[in-house]
């Protein structure tokens, strides 16, 4: 117990220094020395929460509760983790216990009340859900929508222009918004463009040109500007692929989504957008994008974005060599690129809890061979043998995916056949990671570029999230 406690204390120091993987390793060593102390598990659960390994956090908190059914912190951790993966009915069970055991805890009471509201809201939305509901664009008369007299930006006609995009970049840097008419025009134009693209877009890099692959940007607009400053802006000769999770968490999600969409409209053949697990309704309601749309524009804006997210492709194949998708590989070795090509994503607007779309948006690599349960509590994990077989069967050099923080901004795993790229440095203003992107020229060699977070206006991440807990995680 004495040796274990010393390791736990070292883990606490690593946690304070935001070195979550080291903290987890030290807490795990403490548990190996002495596995009957519940606080070792709740501390490790908190570190897992910081790394968004919510499934592991639930398992650790449950073990702590088994060791001590009166340990309030364990119920607290489990409730937080279940809230994060949208298991609100499980979370409310634990919030009730916390509130009962600690009636003076105002934060727990606020979480309990927020969770109750979400459960009621979700039940209401499910009750009124109609499979053939009309588009949010129905009834819009864009031609006769007025532009406010105080709008001082470039005018937008029936086609996107480079002048408008460049003005938009500066406008957003200065905290200005777009007229609603222009917001609607941009989202609807890109929805139509993306809807008509295949589920897996296939592209090549011509001589003298290049494509840049970016991972999650998560509403960190000023860090996106740093990518463009370092690497150049999108153009007909310099393609960009943004591999999902443009929105949520960061508090400039509207700005990123609108700018990427404006570029997509301007350069439909050299701006590529893959859907991520955060381009989905349930995540947007919890992690801030819905609230941000309503705060900066209106509810219709969110609904139009939601429809456009459902139109986004799920993957991009670069030069027949690199399969790029947000999450990762599949639960079945028999799935091939042809199955992705044939997938009709328009039949399923939201990814659900199973199936190819869910796996493409949610899965993660693991070091052990085979497949395992998801550390997130959603989807699954796949090992190096799974990646090797998929690449060999499909003639690929590697898969490129995002979906997870990497402290260096990127990581080559599974004998360099599984590459994770993450482009939100100092994620949520708290993680301390670098960001990265990949340049691919006509020789198809991967060039990794790292960058650090830049200063941004004093608006905290999760400023528009629906739950107060989300801003604390």
CA 136 to chain centre: 24
| Integer Cα distance of 228 and 214 in angstroms | 11
Q: How far apart are CA 43 and CA 206, in angstroms?
A: 51
Q: What is the C-alpha to C-alpha distance for residues 11 and 8, in angstroms, rounded to an integer?
A: 5
- Residue 93 CA to residue 110 CA, distance in Å, equals 14
Asked whether the CA dihedral 278, 352, 263, 420 is positive or negative, the reply is: positive
d(CA 100, CA 112): 11
Q: Which residues contact 242 (CB under 8 A, 6 or more apart)?
A: 214, 217, 260, 272, 273, 274
Lay out the sheet containing 364-365: strands in order across. Answer: 364-365, 380-382, 371-373
Q: Which residue has the tokens 């042809």?
A: 338
Largest Cα separation within the chain, whole Å, is 74
Q: Which of 278, 326, 403, 456 is flagged as catalytic?
A: 278
Which is nearest to 206 in space by CA: 239, 230, 228? 239
Cα angle 18, 21, 26; round to 5: 100
Q: Rounded distance, CA 71 to CA 39, Å?
A: 9
Task: Look up 346 and say whether it is catalytic.
Answer: no
444: left (phi over 0), alpha (psi -120 to 50) or beta: left
Q: Torsions phi, psi of 381, nearest 5?
A: -125, 150
* Torsion angle, alpha carbons of 416, 417, 421, 426, to 10: -50
| CA-CA-CA-CA torsion sign (256, 217, 80, 54) | positive
Task: Choose among 425, 387, 388: nearest CA to 405.
Answer: 425
For residue 427 the two structure tokens come to: 């994620």
Which residue's structure tokens are 């592209």? 203
278 neighbors 402 (Cβ within 8 angstroms) = no
**Does an H or E element contain 15, and which?**
helix 2-16
Residue positions annotated with a catalytic role = 278
């Amino acid at each position: 117990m004495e040796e274990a406690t010393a390791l736990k204390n070292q883990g606490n120091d690593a946690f304070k220094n935001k070195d979550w993987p080291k903290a987890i390793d030290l807490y795990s060593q403490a548990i190996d020395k002495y596995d009957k102390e519940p606080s070792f598990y709740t501390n490790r659960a908190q570190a897992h929460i910081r790394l968004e390994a919510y499934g592991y956090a639930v398992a650790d908190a449950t073990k702590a509760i088994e060791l001590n059914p009166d340990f309030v912190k364990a119920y607290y951790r489990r409730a937080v983790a279940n809230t994060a993966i949208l298991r609100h009915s499980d979370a409310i069970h634990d919030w009730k216990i916390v509130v009962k055991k600690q009636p003076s805890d105002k934060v727990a009471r606020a979480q309990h009340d927020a969770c109750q509201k979400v459960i009621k809201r979700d039940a209401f939305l499910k009750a009124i859900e109609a499979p053939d509901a009309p588009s949010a664009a129905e009834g819009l008369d864009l031609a006769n929508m007025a532009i406010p007299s105080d709008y001082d930006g470039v005018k937008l006609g029936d086609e996107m222009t480079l002048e408008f995009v460049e003005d938009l970049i500066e406008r957003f840097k200065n905290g200005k918004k777009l007229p609603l008419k222009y917001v609607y025009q941009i989202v609807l134009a890109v929805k139509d463009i993306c809807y008509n693209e295949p589920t897996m877009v296939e592209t090549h890099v011509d001589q003298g040109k290049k494509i840049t692959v970016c991972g999650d940007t998560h509403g960190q607009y000023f860090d996106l500007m740093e990518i463009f400053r370092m690497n150049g802006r999108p153009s007909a000769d310099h393609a960009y692929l943004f591999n999902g999770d443009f929105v949520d968490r960061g508090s400039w999600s509207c700005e990123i989504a609108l700018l990427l969409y404006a570029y997509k409209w301007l350069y439909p053949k050299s701006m590529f957008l893959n859907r991520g697990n955060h381009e989905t309704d349930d995540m947007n309601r919890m992690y801030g994008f819905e609230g941000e749309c309503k705060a900066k524009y209106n509810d219709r804006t969110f609904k139009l974005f939601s429809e456009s997210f459902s139109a986004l492709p799920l993957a991009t194949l670069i030069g027949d060599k690199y399969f790029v998708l947000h999450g990762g590989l599949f639960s079945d070795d028999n799935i091939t690129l042809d199955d992705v090509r044939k997938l009709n994503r328009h039949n399923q607007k939201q990814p659900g809890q199973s199936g190819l779309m869910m796996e493409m948006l949610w899965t993660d690599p693991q070091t052990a061979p085979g497949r395992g349960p998801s550390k997130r509590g959603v989807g699954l994990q796949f090992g190096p043998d799974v990646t090797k077989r998929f690449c060999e069967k499909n003639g690929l050099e590697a898969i490129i995916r995002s979906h997870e923080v990497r402290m260096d901004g990127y990581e080559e795993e599974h004998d360099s056949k599984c590459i994770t790229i993450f482009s939100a440095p100092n994620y949520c203003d708290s993680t301390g990671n670098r960001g990265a992107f990949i340049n691919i020229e006509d020789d198809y060699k991967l060039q990794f570029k790292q960058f650090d977070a830049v200063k941004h206006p004093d608006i905290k991440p999760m400023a528009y999230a629906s739950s107060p807990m989300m801003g604390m995680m």
